[in-house]
Amino acid sequence: MSDTAHTLEVGTMVSTGLYGRGIGYITAIYGEQKPETVRRVLNMFATGGQAEFDIVFESGGRSRKLPECILRGVQWKIFPRETGFADASKLAALEEASDAYTAAREAEKREKEAAFARAVEALKADPAYVDLEQGDARDGALAAKNIRKLLKAAFKGTKFSVRKSDHGSIYVRWSDGPSEDQVSEITGRFKTGTFDHHSDCARQEDTPWSKSFGGAEYVFTSRSEA
């Protein structure tokens, strides 16, 4: 069970290492607390509880309606009142700072989205790519078509095999001619697959290029000697 099994109150100090949030304070409580029902399972997660908690962090972030079992679980720490507590004045200051932090993050997100859109439009209008077919398909079909065009233009005399697999990956094979690095400089633009080490999972992420001329989760290259 968590560090304190007693009923919590607004102003209680907590902390978590999740997402780099650190120290925070409870700002609102919803429902009836049932700390006696919270149980840790294999020291990995917790069950039970009934209440939900809003928390504001010194780092600027917030958690809204966090379930009691999570707050009293293995990834959170609850501090006794004598160790840390926020009165109404401190909570108000933290919430004001959090509002400013959120507004700045949202403004940054909007600017990134606008810059991304500008980059897409610039690529689509670039005369250097007038021969490419435009679109934002992620299944690899459009990307394969455009890869063929780019490789044919860049490496005249070299015959390439460009094939899309059932899972959307693209395989590019050829004999002699350009190096794998030279070919990958072109084919890598279409790759949308990434690996998030924080969550330990693979995902797809669009780029201005893939939104303009198509993408594939993975693009593999293989050069052989004749």
pLDDT digits (tens, 9 = 90+) for 19-45: 889 999 999 999 999 999 988 887 777
pLDDT averaged over every residue in the chain: 92
CA–CA separation, 182 and 221 (whole Å) = 10
Lowest mean pLDDT across 16-25, 93-102, 187-196, 206-215: 187-196
How confident is the model at residue 44, as a pLDDT? 72
Task: Using only the alpha carbons of the chain, give its radius of gyration.
Answer: 26
Contacts of 175 (CB under 8 A, 6+ apart): 159, 223, 224, 225, 226
How confident is the model at residue 148, as a pLDDT? 97
pLDDT tens by residue, 164-206: 987 789 999 999 999 999 999 999 999 998 766 666 677 788 9
Domain regions of the chain by residue span: 13-101, 127-224
